[in-house]
Each structure stands twice: as structure tokens, then as C-alpha cells.
Amino acid sequence: MLKGKNIILGISGGIAAYKCATFVRGLVKQGANVKVIMTKHAKEFITPLTMATLSKNPILVDFYNPENGDWNSHVDLGLWADLYVIAPATANTIAKMANGVADNLLLTTYLSAKCPVMFAPTMDLDMYKHPATLRNIEILKSYGNIVIEPTSGELASGLVGAGRMAEPEDMVAFIDSFFSKNNSLVGKKFLVTAGPTYEKIDPVRFIGNYSSGKMGYAISEELAKRGAEVVLISGPVSLSIDNPLIERINVESAKEMYDASMRFFPECDGGIMSAAVADFAPKVQASSKVKRGKDNMTIELVPNKDIAASLGSIKTDKQLLIGFALETDNEFENAQLKLEKKNLDFIVLNSLKDEGAGFGVDTNKIKIIDRNDIVNDYPLDSKRNVAGFIVDYIEKINK
Ligand code: CTP
């Protein structure tokens, strides 16, 4: 399963470095190409000769080879890799990664890497439990880095608790399942709408809403992570996204979002409508700034086109369409009505009554309702993980 995969292993200086011999052997046995970067301290725990022999590649420690002056390009390494695993990741290395410190090759490669990154925190119990370490691990997770969770047991210090690096066989299995999941949507293409729309009143004012776009961006990233191409049609948000599989089209108004969606949907295998599209727009957009008057002001609003319903009316049997419903009352009935009316395959229901769900926050709590009225209730989780639940469901329907 790992055949042809390019994996960089970054070893920092912890006693668990000795497990890297078996770990690299396992990766190579599964067909992976492995290059090993070691920090200076790592060399004190396991010899470069052992790692070079097992990985079948020279070990990289310095920015250049001291023997012949060859430059070890961290940029090239970062581009070469399909996966960068930092194991063991000591508290020191984790802290540096979280803060963008770039004082060795392991770290400069981390900063340059375009591929997914995994790290295996390994340290003594008290260091692991320290708020600084826990915060740094959270920061890395927020960058999308994946934790290979430490296991509990007796530590090198004699203390007992969490902080042991996972067993090499388990780490190989974890990576194997990561790649098999990652290839599951290769060859598929999805359209995702995200964020709010702005409906212009005059050159300086608009009608908008509080949508941050985080959910739609997380879904786009999850789809791309599994190998799908994504056309992300984004309203005005302050998020950035950098993935070669994701083409971002910036729009402002519901009309622009509608035009872009209608243009791209026919070439897609499915659409995920996570944007909070304004239902109405001012009938007239003033060409110069509207001045304050003494009287009340009335703005006449006209309805916008329903993008989801329009795509629902043109979708083929092979195309999927997924909508969202953000409700305050009669959640289930309203969501079901939208599912029918917009010809969706399933609808993701957020209730504003649930704490931690909805606009702006980093978490979400969803229910998925499908055409068979099956309701799947999910726990409160990060938008990244919720995106995983939604994409799992897309895969389950598998049109
Ligand atoms: N939607 C859309 N185009 C619109 C309005 C909504 O594509 N003009 C999509 C949203 O992206 C979402 C779903 O339709 O996936 C439901 O959006 P929502 O605003 O909850 O539904 P409305 O049909 O606008 O109903 P209401 O606002 O009355 O609840």
C-alpha cells in the first residue's frame, strides 16, 4: 500500500529514536521511499549508519554535506515528500515547529513541506502534561498537522503515564490507513460554495451575514486531502487556502456565486452548498454614497436565485448535491423540507440552539438527514473533524 510513497522521517533527540530503526524498516518493507533527517541530538540516540542502511539513503543532518559541500535543499525535500513524519517529536522540536523556528534541517524542511505532516510527541509525563506543550500540540493541530498519539506505560525516566512513542508496527499501520483513505476520491471533482455573500447597497455599504466560511473551507481541504479536485466558490472571507487541488473562485454577491456555480457544476461529481447566501439583494444599487437624510429610509429588496435549488434542478443521476440548514426552530421539519425542495442527496443540519455550532466558531455540531429520512447525529467537534464526517457520508453514498 505504501508502494512508491515518498516519506521523510525527521528524528529529533529523544530516547524513542531507537524505535525508528524498526519503523523505517517497516516503511521500506511496504514499498515506501524513505529519507531520514536527524537533528544533532538524535545522532546521540541512534547512529546515522543504522538509519542510512535501513532507509537505503544518506542521512541528512546539516544544511549542506560537510564532506563535499553539497546543499541539502529543504525546499526540494519538502516538494519530494508525500508525507513528513516527525518521530520522535520532542517537546523542544514541537515548540519550535509551533513557533516557526528554523534552526536545523528538520525544522526548515517542516516549514517548506507542502505535504501532510504527522508528528509523534514523545517525552516525559510532566513535560507532556505541561500547558506549554499541550498548547504547542494544539497549535500544530490547528495547522492541520496530524498527531500520532503517544501511548501510556513505563517511560524511560521510570515514571508511568502518557508520553511513550507508539510502537513502530502501529505507526506503519497508521500511515498505511492514512494513505488508503487519502486516495479514496482521486479522479473526483467537487464544487463547494462557502462564506457569506455581500449584496451592495451603494459603493461603501452592503447587506451581509456573519458566516466565516470555515466550514466550507474545511470541507474543501478534506476533499482535497482524499485526492479530489475542488472548485471552491468563496464569498468574502478572511481565510486563505493553499492546495494545488483546490481552485478558489472569489465572488461577492449571490448573483456572482450563482453564475460561477452554474458554470462549474456540470463538470463536477457533486456540489456541497455550505455558503450562507443572502436571500435578498437591494433592487437598486446606488452608484454614489447614499447621504444621511432626516426621514426613515427604506431599501426595497428583491429575492436572489436559490443556487442549491438551481443545481438540484439540473443535477444528473450521477451527481451528488449536499446542502446545509442553519435553523433556530422546527429544525428537523425545516431541514427535511429543504432536502426535498432543493433535490438534495443529504442535508447537514446545524441548530443555533446547540452551543458551539454555527457561525464564526471553530467547532460545529451537526446532524445529517438523507433521502431515507435517516438521521445521523454527530458529537460536537472541530470543523476539521466535522468536515471528515461529511466527506465520509459523501463516500458512503458513492454515486
Ligand atoms: N442556498 C443557496 N442559495 C440561496 C439560499 C440558500 O444555495 N439563495 C443554500 C445554502 O447554501 C444551504 C441551503 O441552500 O445549503 C439552505 O440555506 P438556508 O439559508 O438555510 O435556506 P433557505 O432556502 O434560504 O431558507 P430560509 O432562509 O428561509 O431558512
CATH number of the domain enclosing 177: 3.40.50.1950
Poorest-confidence range of 104-118, 160-174, 286-300, 347-361? 347-361
Q: What single-letter amino acid sits at 371?
A: R
Pick from 182, 210, 229: which residue ends a domain?
182
C-alpha separations of 269 from 114, 188, 189 in Å = 26, 6, 5
The predicted model gives 74-88 an average pLDDT of 91
Name the residue with cell 454555527.
358
User: Are 173 and 234 contained in the same domain?
Assistant: no
Q: What is the CATH number of the domain that holds 393?
A: 3.40.50.10300
Q: Whose CA is nearest to atom 9 of ligand 1?
A: 308
Report d(CA 115, CA 82) in Å as an integer: 5
Residues with beta carbon inside 6 Å of ligand 1?
193, 254, 273, 275, 277, 279, 304, 306-308, 323-326, 338
Given a cut of 80, is residue 390 above it in pLDDT?
A: yes
pLDDT bin (cut points 50, 70, 90) of residue 161 is confident
Residues 133, 217 within the same domain: no
pLDDT attached to residue 156: 77
- Asked if residue 80 and residue 40 are part of one domain, the reply reads yes
Residue 387 vs residue 156, higher pLDDT: 387
How far apart (Å, rounded) are the C-alpha atoms in residues 316 and 51? 53
pLDDT at 168: 95
Backbone angles phi, psi at 213, to 5 degrees: 85, -5
* Ligand 1 center to 259 CA (angstroms): 16
> Binning pLDDT at 50, 70 and 90, where does residue 23 land?
very high
Q: Are residues 51 and 155 in the same domain?
A: yes
Q: What is the pLDDT of residues 315-362, one digit of tens each?
A: 999 999 999 998 888 989 999 999 999 999 999 998 777 777 777 778
Going by CA atoms, what residue is nearest to atom 20 of ligand 1?
325
Torsion region of 226: left, alpha or beta (phi above 0 gives left; psi -120 to 50 gives alpha): alpha
Domain coverage including residue 136: 6-182
Does residue 346 lie in a domain region?
yes
Q: Please confirm whether the linkage preceding 58 is cis (ω < 30° from 0).
A: no
Would 1 be classed as within a structural domain?
no
Distance, CA 345 to ligand 1 centroid (Å)? Answer: 15
Report the C-alpha gap between 159 and 155 in whole angstroms. Answer: 5
Active site (catalytic) residues: 209
Query: Which residues, in sequence order, are CB contacts of 192 under 8 Å at separation 6+?
Result: 216, 219, 220, 223, 230, 231, 232, 233, 271, 272, 274
Residues 89 and 195 in one domain: no
**One domain for residues 143 and 210:** no
User: What is the rounded CA–CA span in Å between residue 96 and residue 55?
Assistant: 26
CA of 309 to the centre of ligand 1 (A): 9
Q: Tell me 351's DSSP state.
A: E
- Whether residues 282 and 260 share a domain: the answer is yes
Atom 14 of ligand 1: nearest residue by CA position: 308
Q: Which atom of ligand 1 is nearest to the CA of 326?
A: 20
Task: Give the Å distance between the CA of 353 and the centre of ligand 1.
Answer: 18
Ligand 1 midpoint to CA 204 (Å): 26
- Do 166 and 106 share a structural domain? yes
Is residue 289 domain-resident?
A: yes
Q: Which of the listed residues 182, 213, 241 is the one where a domain comes to its end?
A: 182
**What per-residue confidence (pLDDT) applies to 153?**
79
Mutate to test the pocket of ligand 1, among 197, 338, 352, 359 (most ligand atoms within 8 A of CB): 338
| Mean pLDDT, the chain, whole residue set | 92
Separation of alpha carbons 102 and 75, rounded Å: 13
Answer whether residue 157 shows pLDDT above 90.
no
In a domain, 100, yes or no: yes
In this structure, the answer to whether residues 203 and 89 fall within a common structural domain is: no
Q: Which of 126, 156, 182 is the last residue of a domain?
A: 182
DSSP annotation of 19: G
Contact 310, 258 (CB under 8 A): yes
Residue 252 lies in a domain: yes
The number of folded domains in the chain is 2
Q: Please give the Cα distance from 121 to 147 (Å, whole number).
A: 7
Nearest-CA residue for atom 24 of ligand 1: 279
Q: What is the pLDDT of residue 269?
A: 97
Q: Which atom of ligand 1 is nearest to the CA of 347?
A: 15
Per-residue pLDDT tens for 243-259? Answer: 778 999 999 999 999 99
> Binning pLDDT at 50, 70 and 90, where does residue 44 land?
very high
pLDDT at residue 227 tops 80: yes
How many residues appear in the chain? 399
Is residue 314 a part of any domain in this protein? yes
Q: What is the pLDDT of residue 75?
A: 81
User: Which residue did the predictor score with more confidence, 153 or 377?
Assistant: 377
Query: What per-residue confidence (pLDDT) applies to 249?
Result: 98
Shared domain for 262 and 126, answered yes or no, is no
Q: Is residue 331 domain-resident?
A: yes
- Does residue 51 sit in the same domain as residue 74? yes
pLDDT the model gives residue 294? 86
Residue 343 and residue 207 in one domain = yes
Per the listing, cell 464544487 goes with 191
| Dihedral sign (CA 378, 380, 382, 383) | positive
pLDDT attached to residue 357: 76
269-315 per-position pLDDT tens digit: 999 999 999 999 999 999 999 998 889 999 999 999 999 999 999 99
Percentage of residues in the chain having pLDDT higher than 70: 99
- pLDDT(66) > 80: no
Instruction: Report yes or no on 76 lying in a domain.
Output: yes
Ligand 1 atom 8, closest CA: 306
More confident residue, 262 or 327: 262
Out of 54-68, 194-208, 217-231, pick the least confident.
Answer: 54-68
